[in-house]
Amino acid sequence: MRLNCSKPVAGNGSGTGSSALSSTSALSSIKVGILALQGDFEAHGRVVEELGHQPVYVRQERELRGLDGLIIPGGETTTMLKLLQDEGLFDPLMQFAERHPVMGTCAGSILMAKEVVSPAQNSFGWMDLTVERNAYGRQARSSIRSIEPTPEFVERTAPGRLEAVFIRAPIIRHVGEAAAVLLRDGSNPILVEQGRHLAATFHPELSKDRRLHGLFLDKIRSSG
Q: What is the DSSP string of 30-71?
A: -EEEEE-SSSSHHHHHHHHHHTT-EEEEESSGGGGTT-SEEE
* Cβ proximity of 182 and 150 under 8 Å: yes
Closest CA to 192 of 121, 109, 134: 109
Among 33, 55, 74, 204, binds ligand GLN (CB under 6 A): 74
- Provide, rounded to whole angstroms, the least separation between the CB of residue 110 and ligand GLN: 5
Sheet with 171-175, side-by-side order of all strands: 113-117, 127-132, 171-175
Among 47, 106, 192, 220, binds ligand GLN (CB under 6 A): 106
Q: Residue 35 interacts with ligand GLN (CB under 6 A)? A: no
Among 38, 77, 123, 157, binds ligand GLN (CB under 6 A): 77
Point out the catalytic residue in the list 132, 197, 205, 213: 205
Q: Residue 129 interacts with ligand GLN (CB under 6 A)? A: no
- Provide, rounded to whole angstroms, the least separation between the CB of residue 2 and ligand GLN: 28
- Provide, rounded to whole angstroms, the least separation between the CB of residue 122 and ligand GLN: 12
Cα within 13 Å of Cα(139), Cβ side: 0
Q: How far is CA 58 from CA 69, 111, 201, 211, in A?
A: 11, 16, 21, 23
Among 83, 115, 168, 176, binds ligand GLN (CB under 6 A): 168
5 is catalytic: no
- Provide, rounded to whole angstroms, the least separation between the CB of residue 174 and ligand GLN: 17
205 is catalytic: yes
106 is catalytic: yes
* Cβ proximity of 74 and 96 under 8 Å: no
Q: How far is CA 159 from CA 148, 154, 156, 217, in A?
A: 9, 5, 9, 18
Q: Residue 104 interacts with ligand GLN (CB under 6 A)? A: no
* Residues making contact with ligand GLN (CB under 6 A): 74-77, 106-107, 110, 133-134, 167-168
Catalytic residues: 106, 203, 205
